[in-house]
Structure 1
Amino acid sequence: MNLPELETEAIDRIVEMAWEDRTPFEAIAVQFGLQEKQVIALMRGEMKPSSFRMWRDRVTSRKSKHLRKRDFIAGRFKSDNQKT
């Protein structure tokens, strides 16, 4: 998968946002222009295989990682570092 050239700080922030339970993939897309598949590819490349599997299992069981699946009010929690 082709990923855009990203600075180290941007990669660190994307990984941090991907680990956060309430930060949806859509917020990462708005802030960094990466779609969910690209975030998954980035995480796979940045993490050890066992850590990636643990993260992937965690993400797939969270409704909060996708805006369409959320059952709580959007905007209920927002990190100061998050644009959306």
Structure 2
Amino acid sequence: MNINGLIEMAWSDEATFSDIEREFGIKEPEVKRIMQSNLKPGSYRLWRKRVRWIKEKQKKHLKV
């Protein structure tokens, strides 16, 4: 598995967990574990904050 490609895709604003699953065959909980084990703690927290923000943004966009 290309860990660097997975991390790059996970950091992308455009990629969703569904996109990652299609590309790598890995579900959201496993992506989170991989990110946590490969990023520094502060970087992981920043990534999780970003993911939550993007999910909220997408929910609001779908409601409109």
TM-score of the two chains, using structure 2 as the length reference: 0.83
* Bigger helix fraction: 2
Q: How many residues align?
A: 61
Q: Which residue of 2 aligns with 1:27?
A: 19
Higher RCO (C-alpha 8 Å, min separation 6): 1
What is the CA RMSD across the aligned residues, in angstroms? 1.9
Gaps of 5+ in 1: 1-5, 73-84
Percent identity (aligned): 38
In the superposition, the TM-score normalised over structure 1's length comes to: 0.65
Whole-angstrom CA distance in 2 between matches of 1:33 and 1:23: 14
Letter in 2 for 1:71: H
Q: Which structure has the bigger radius of gyration?
A: 1
Runs of 4 or more consecutive aligned structure 1 residues displaced over 4 Å after TM superposition? none
Residue 38 in 1 paired to residue 42 in 2? Answer: no
Aligned to 1:71: 61
How many Å separate the matches in 1 of 2:26 and 2:61? 24
Alpha-carbon spacing, 1:70–1:40, altered in 2? closer, same or farther (3 Å)? farther
How many Å separate the matches in 2 of 1:70 and 1:39?
A: 24
Counterparts in 2 of 1:28 and 1:13: CA distance versus 1, 3 Å: same
